[in-house]
């Protein structure tokens, strides 16, 4: 079996440029932002840019391509103005993924800002349902687990399971599992028994059938400390043994693994991607 592993790559200079960058790094799957991740607005994607991107992806045989939502949207917010803007960005990103023929759109869920978990879960589910009703393309929205900081939605599998239930377990909504965030939120996937327990919780509350992408990140923070600090593969608290069990796990090994690891004097993306391939035994 072929391991699918890649990382987040830049679209600087045009969406199609991301593909060559991914190839240079050694990716056979990769993730992009379709626009500026730190703003509310996005420049339209013209037909030519979209065509160039689609033909580059076809040529490279890289699959799947994953898009990540920008950072500002918050679907759990009690502030109506931010909520409306967030919903608009979600709809726009679903459409942009459709234009670029990107099958998966990963999103964080947001923060209820102290207004209560139940209300936050409901608003998040409503935002996603509304987007699904407004644009009926083939793009699948993937709900990502978070590190469980105060007031955030998505730090527990219960949160994500409840949102999926509220949406009605729609087949256009799946999940993305971030290993750093899970560990930070208290799921100890660094040990063999911890990984078994975590996956059985995931199966029970979310269902592993919904899991489409793994964000494979090691982490700087201790388990349960709610610290979202990604680390090079094997050099953090999950470690080589932990990562090795994850990429070789029969329920996970066929999924695309996307790295969002640091780039510094110790290692770059190429080294981290190569390191994951070394840990794979398939
Ligand atoms: Zn992530
Ligand atoms: Zn993170």
Using one digit for the tens of pLDDT, what is the confidence trace for 128-169?
A: 999 999 999 999 999 999 999 999 999 999 999 999 999 999
Nearest CA among 142, 141, 230, 140 for reference residue 182: 230
Looking at residue 274, its pLDDT comes to 98
Average pLDDT value over all residues in the chain: 98
Q: What is the pLDDT of residue 206?
A: 98
pLDDT for residue 271 is more than 90: yes
Ligand 2 centre to CA of 181 (Å) is 6
Residue-wise pLDDT tens digits, 58-110: 999 999 999 999 999 999 999 999 999 999 999 999 999 999 999 999 999 99
Domain spans in the chain, listed from the N-terminal domain onward: 5-279
String of DSSP letters for 262-280: --SSS--HHHHHHHHHHH-
Stated pTM of the model: 0.98
Distance 230 CA to ligand 2 centre (A): 6
Tell me the percentage of the chain whose pLDDT exceeds 70. 100
What was the pLDDT predicted at 175?
98
How far is the centre of ligand 1, averaged over its atoms, from the C-alpha of 282 (Å)? 24
Judged by its nearest atom, the ligand closest to the C-alpha of residue 177 is 1
The pLDDT of residue 1: 85
Ligand 2 centre to CA of 236 (Å) is: 14
Q: Is the confidence at residue 7, as pLDDT, over 90? A: yes
At 177 the pLDDT is: 98
Ligand nearest to C-alpha 66: 1
Pairs from 244-249 (Cβ < 8 Å, separation ≥ 24): 244/279, 244/281, 245/192, 245/195, 246/179, 246/189, 246/195, 246/214, 246/216, 247/3, 247/5, 247/216, 247/276, 247/279, 247/280, 248/279, 248/280, 248/281, 248/282, 249/195, 249/199
When pLDDT is averaged across residues 39-50 and rounded to a whole number, the result is 97
- 279 alpha carbon – ligand 2 mean position (Å): 22
Q: Are 191 and 245 in contact (CB under 8 A)?
A: no
Q: Provide the pLDDT for residue 117.
A: 97
Determine the pLDDT at residue 89: 98
- Calculate how far, in angstroms, residue 52's C-alpha sits from the geometric centre of ligand 2: 30
Residue 192 has pLDDT above 90, yes or no: yes
According to the model, what pLDDT value does residue 196 have? 98
Residue 263 — very low, low, confident or very high, per pLDDT cuts 50/70/90? very high
27: pLDDT strictly greater than 90: yes
Look at residue 282 and tell me whether its pLDDT is greater than 90. no
pLDDT tens digits, residue range 226-257? 999 999 999 999 999 999 999 999 999 999 99
CATH class of 5-279: alpha beta
Residues forming the active site: 38, 68, 71, 108, 144, 178, 181, 215, 228, 230, 260
CA of 55 to the centre of ligand 2 (A): 31
Alpha-carbon distance of 178 to 271, in angstroms, equals 20
Exposure string for 202-229, b = 16+ CB within 10 A, e = fewer: beebbeeebbbbbbbbbbbbebebbebb
Ligand nearest to the CA of 149: 2
Closest ligand by atom to 260 CA: 1
């Amino acid at each position: 079996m072929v391991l699918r592993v890649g990382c987040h790559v830049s679209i600087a200079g045009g969406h199609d440029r991301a593909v060559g960058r991914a190839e240079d790094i050694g990716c056979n799957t990769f993730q992009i932002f379709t626009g500026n991740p730190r703003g509310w607005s996005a420049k339209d994607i013209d037909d030519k840019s979209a065509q160039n991107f689609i033909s580059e992806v076809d040529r490279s045989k890289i699959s799947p391509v994953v898009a990540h939502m920008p950072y500002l949207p918050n679907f759990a917010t009690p502030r109506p103005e931010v909520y409306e803007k967030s919903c608009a960005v979600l709809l726009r990103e679903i459409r942009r993924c459709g234009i670029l023929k990107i099958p998966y759109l990963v999103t964080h869920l947001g923060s209820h800002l102290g207004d209560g978990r139940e209300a936050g879960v409901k608003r998040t589910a409503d935002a996603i349902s509304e987007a699904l009703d407004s644009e009926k393309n083939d793009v699948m929205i993937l709900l990502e687990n978070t590190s469980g900081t105060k007031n955030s939605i998505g730090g527990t599998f219960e949160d994500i399971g409840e949102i999926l239930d509220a949406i009605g377990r729609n087949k256009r909504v799946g999940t993305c599992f971030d290993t750093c965030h899970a560990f930070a939120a208290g799921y100890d996937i660094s040990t063999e028994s911890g990984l078994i327990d975590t996956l059985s919780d995931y199966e029970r509350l979310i269902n592993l059938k919904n899991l489409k992408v793994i964000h494979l990140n090691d982490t700087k923070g201790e388990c349960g400390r709610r610290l979202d600090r990604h680390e090079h593969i094997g050099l953090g608290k999950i470690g080589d043994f932990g990562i090795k069990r994850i990429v070789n796990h029969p329920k996970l090994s066929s999924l695309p693994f996307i790295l969002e690891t640091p780039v510094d004097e110790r290692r770059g993306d190429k080294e981290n991607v190569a390191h994951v391939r070394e840990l794979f035994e398939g």
